C-alpha cells in the first residue's frame, strides 16, 4: 500500500512540480512559490467550475429543446384542427353551391345522405355492443342546428355530420383493436392467430375487400366506402380478440395485491444461491381463496415435488396454469372451471417458507412470465 502511495505521489509531483514566480513591481522583486498542493487545488477548482458550466449549459439546452418541441406539438395540433374545420366548412359551402346551381339538387343530396346513412347504420350495428362505443360516438352524432338555415344547408350539415360520426367510429374501433393487439403481444401471443380469416363480423363490409366493389354494393363514394371498410375491419378484429381473451388466463389468481418473488433468477430461500423461479408468488393468510385465471379443464390435482398440493388447469391452445403450495384443493381432474372459480386455499405445503400462492403460466411446455399475463388482462379490461 505504501509503495502505491509513494508512486502516486511521485506521479503527481511530476505533473505538478513546484514552480517559482518572480514579479517585479516598482523596482521591487517579489517571489511566489506554487507548491504541488496549491496547483492541485487550483486545477480541482477549474475542473469543478468547468463541470458546473457544462451541466448548466446542458440543462439550458434540454429545456430549450423541450419547450421548442412542446410549442411545435401545440402548433401542429392547432393547425390540424384549423385545417379540419376549414375543410368541413369548404365542403359544406361547396355542396350548397353545387346544389343551388343544378336542377334536382335536393333530390340528389337526399339520396346521397340516405345511402351513406344505410352504410353507417350497418357499421354502427356492429359497434353497438362494444363497451364505450356510445360514449365515444355521442358527441359526433349531434347535428348543429340553425334556425335560419335553409333545407339544402341543413341537409348538407347532416352529410358533414355523417363524416364526423365515421371519423369518431373509425378512431374508436382502431384504438380498441390496437389496445387488444398490444395485450396479446404482451402475453407473447400472436393476435392474428386468434382472428378468423376474412373477419368475424360486418357482412358485406368485411366480405368486399375492394373498396370500389364495396362502394358499388353500398352505392356510396369509394372514399366513404374505404373509410367504412377500415372501421369495420378494426371492429371485427377487436370483437374476435375480445372473444379469444375470454378463453385465456388473463385473470388474477387471488384477490391479494402483494407480490413477493417474481419470475426469473432470485436468491433461493433454502440454498441462499441464485436459482430460477418459474412463477409469481402471492403471500397471504392461510386459506385465502385461489381462483382460476381463465376457463378450462382441471388436468392435475395432487402433490408435486417442491410445489406441495397443486392444481393445474388446461386452457387449450397449449396454455396451462399451475397453482402451488395450496392448503386445500376444491376441484378434481376433468372438472370444467370458469374464470374466477375457486380451486383451493392458500397454504404452505411443499418447499415453502410460509403461506403463499405460487402461480405459473405455461405455453407449449415452457414457463412464461405470469406478470405479463396479468398486465395483458389489465389491457383487455381497459379496452372493454
Q: What is the pLDDT along the chain (384 residues), one digit of tens a residue?
A: 567 666 767 776 666 676 666 656 666 666 666 676 776 677 777 777 777 777 666 666 655 555 455 456 555 655 665 665 566 555 655 555 555 554 445 556 566 666 666 666 666 665 555 655 555 555 444 555 444 455 566 666 666 767 777 777 777 778 888 888 888 888 888 888 887 765 444 554 555 555 556 655 565 667 777 777 777 788 788 888 888 888 999 999 999 888 888 887 877 777 778 878 889 999 999 999 999 999 999 999 999 999 999 999 999 989 999 999 999 999 999 999 999 999 999 999 998 889 999 999 999 999 999 999 999 998 888 766
Q: Which of 358, 186, 327, 187 is nearest to 261 (CA)?
A: 358
d(CA 287, CA 357): 10
Residue indicated by cell numbers 377487436: 238
Q: Specify which residues 336 forms β-bridges with.
A: 297
Our separate counts of H helices and E strands in the chain read 9, 13
d(CA 206, CA 26): 100
Strand spans (E) along the chain? 19-25, 28-34, 264-267, 274-277, 280-283, 289-291, 296-304, 308-316, 319-329, 336-337, 342-346, 356-363, 366-368
Cβ-contact 215, 177 below 8 angstroms: no
Cell of 366: 415452457
Cell of 6: 509513494
pLDDT for the residue numbered 103: 42
pLDDT for the residue numbered 194: 84
Residue indicated by cell numbers 339520396: 111
Domain ranges of the chain: 2-54, 102-245, 264-383
Residue indicated by cell numbers 376441484: 331
SS3 22: strand
Cell of 236: 371485427
Residue 110: exposed, middle, or buried by beta-carbon count in 10 A (0-12, 13-18, 19+)? middle
d(CA 282, CA 304): 19
Tell me the helix, strand and coil percentages in the chain, rounded to 5: 55, 20, 25
Show the DSSP H helices in 102-210 as ranges. Answer: 105-127, 133-141, 151-186, 204-207
d(CA 127, CA 351): 50
Task: Give me the CATH topology for the region 264-383.
Answer: Glucose Permease (Domain IIA) (2.70.70)
Cell of 268: 433461493
Amino acid at each position: 500500500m505504501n509503495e502505491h502511495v509513494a508512486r502516486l505521489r511521485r506521479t503527481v509531483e511530476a505533473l505538478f512540480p513546484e514552480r517559482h514566480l518572480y514579479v517585479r513591481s516598482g523596482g521591487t522583486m517579489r517571489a511566489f512559490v506554487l507548491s504541488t498542493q496549491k496547483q492541485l487545488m487550483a486545477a480541482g477548482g477549474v475542473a469543478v467550475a468547468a463541470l458546473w458550466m457544462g451541466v448548466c449549459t446542458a440543462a439550458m439546452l434540454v429545456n430549450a429543446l423541450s419547450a421548442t418541441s412542446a410549442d411545435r406539438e401545440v402548433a401542429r395540433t392547432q393547425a390540424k384542427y384549423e385545417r379540419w374545420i376549414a375543410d368541413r366548412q369548404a365542403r359544406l359551402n361547396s355542396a350548397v353551391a353545387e346544389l343551388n346551381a343544378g336542377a334536382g339538387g335536393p333530390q340528389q343530396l337526399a339520396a346521397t345522405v340516405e345511402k351513406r346513412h344505410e352504410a353507417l347504420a350497418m357499421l354502427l350495428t356492429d359497434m353497438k355492443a362494444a363497451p364505450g362505443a356510445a360514449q365515444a360516438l355521442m358527441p359526433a352524432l349531434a347535428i348543429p342546428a340553425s334556425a335560419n338555415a335553409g333545407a339544402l344547408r341543413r341537409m348538407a350539415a347532416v352529410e358533414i355530420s355523417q363524416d364526423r360520426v365515421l371519423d369518431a367510429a373509425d378512431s374508436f374501433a382502431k384504438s380498441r383493436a390496437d389496445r387488444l393487439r398490444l395485450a396479446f403481444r404482451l402475453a407473447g401471443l400472436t393476435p392474428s392467430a386468434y382472428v378468423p380469416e376474412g373477419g368475424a363480423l360486418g357482412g358485406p363490409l368485411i366480405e368486399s375487400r375492394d373498396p370500389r366493389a364495396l362502394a358499388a354494393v353500398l352505392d356510396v363514394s369509394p372514399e366513404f366506402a374505404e373509410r367504412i371498410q377500415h372501421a369495420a375491419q378494426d371492429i371485427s378484429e377487436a370483437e374476435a380478440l375480445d372473444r379469444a381473451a375470454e378463453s385465456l388466463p388473463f385473470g388474477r389468481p387471488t384477490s391479494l395485491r402483494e407480490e413477493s418473488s417474481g419470475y426469473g433468477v432470485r436468491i433461493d430461500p433454502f440454498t441462499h444461491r441464485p436459482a430460477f423461479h418459474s412463477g409469481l408468488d402471492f403471500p397471504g393468510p392461510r386459506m385465502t381463496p385461489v381462483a382460476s385465471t381463465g376457463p378450462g379443464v382441471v388436468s392435475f390435482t395432487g402433490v408435486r415435488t417442491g410445489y406441495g398440493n397443486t392444481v393445474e388447469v388446461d386452457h387449450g391452445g397449449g396454455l396451462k396454469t399451475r397453482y402451488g403450495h395450496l392448503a386445500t384443493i376444491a376441484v378434481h381432474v376433468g372438472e370444467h372451471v370458469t374464470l374466477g372459480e375457486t380451486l383451493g386455499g392458500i397454504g404452505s405445503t411443499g418447499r415453502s417458507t410460509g403461506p403463499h400462492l405460487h402461480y405459473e403460466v405455461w405455453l407449449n411446455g415452457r414457463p412464461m412470465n405470469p406478470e405479463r399475463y396479468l398486465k395483458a388482462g389489465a389491457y383487455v379490461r381497459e379496452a372493454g
